[in-house]
Amino acid sequence: MSSQGYQKITGIMRLDSVHGARSLAELDRVGPAEDDRPYVREEAESFGAGNYVMAIFGDPNGDTDWSWLIQGHHMGANFTVSDGRTGFTPLFLGATPLVLEQGIYAGWSAMSHEVTRGFELMQALDPSQHAAAIQEGTPPNDVLAGVGYKDNIARNQGLQASEMSAEQQRLLRVLVEEYVRNSDFDAAEAQLTAITEAGWDNLWFAWRGQSEDPAGPLFYRVQGDRILIELTQRPNHIHTIVRDPANDYGERWLDQILTEEYSSGDRFEAAVRVYEAADEER
């Protein structure tokens, strides 16, 4: 991770502890509830920095490919190292609260720019471009390109970058780099080079929901041959994902086709199965 990415993931973990403490305090305040109370309490107890886990696949000290991941409630960070190259997708990051509302750090956010960059681009579009970007439907509660669903995303939706002005294209690049530069410098530069070779003009920008309030419910997607970004926002709560449609989990470098499995929202278990399957094939 870059210093930017490190600050984000550690901030997400701290915010998750805040969320967990608040959830447990609210359960204690309302007292005994319906039959689902044990499940609700178990879920609340799963929030927090102490509930994030790490797994390593392969030998970091050896000469073969290896990978590692860190996983928790609002994080699914996957890294693959192959022949001196590092891949960092898929990368799921989320935050709740997105912005701390009280205390000495009130106003602090671990992921404020992700929303801002997308909103700035949307606001820069003229009426016809705005209409092209807008998609039917309300913002989803979660990203659509999550575990097991990348290949189900329809392509070429929204406004193509080739139809944007130079300033709008600059804002699109700023948006993309906000995500890509969470990775370390060399990995980020390699990913940006891959996007450039595929063509920045070939990116598409799509939006769902209102576009007047940056704190309101909204969803956007940036999609191309070598980048797929999604963000969905609910009140003070966001989910994001970054994927490389051609090289998630380093599959292009490993010369393998890897398959994800969705498992009741457990991204860690799903990612472990992907890596274990890759280990078996190597």
Tens digits of per-residue pLDDT, 84-107? 899 999 999 999 999 999 889 999
DSSP 96: S
For 146-199, write each residue's pLDDT tens digit.
Answer: 887 777 677 889 999 999 999 999 999 999 999 999 999 999 999 999 999 999
How many Å apart are CA 149 and CA 130, to the nearest integer?
Answer: 27
Helix (H, G, I), strand (E, B) or coil at 56: strand
Alpha-carbon torsion, ordered 245, 82, 270, 220, to 10 deg: -30
- The pair of structure tokens assigned to 18 is 């805040």
Could you tell me what percent of the chain has a pLDDT over 90? 69
| Residue 125 pLDDT grade (very low, low, confident, very high; cuts 50, 70, 90) | very high
Angle at 215 between CA 213 and CA 219, to 5 degrees: 85
Q: What mean pLDDT do residues 208-236 have?
A: 96
pLDDT at position 276:
56
| Residue 269 pLDDT grade (very low, low, confident, very high; cuts 50, 70, 90) | low
For 14-47, write each residue's pLDDT tens digit.
Answer: 999 999 888 888 888 776 555 456 667 788 888 8
More confident residue, 29 or 236: 236
In whole angstroms, how large is the CA radius of gyration of the chain? 19
pLDDT at position 28:
80
- Mean pLDDT in the chain? 88
DSSP 250: G
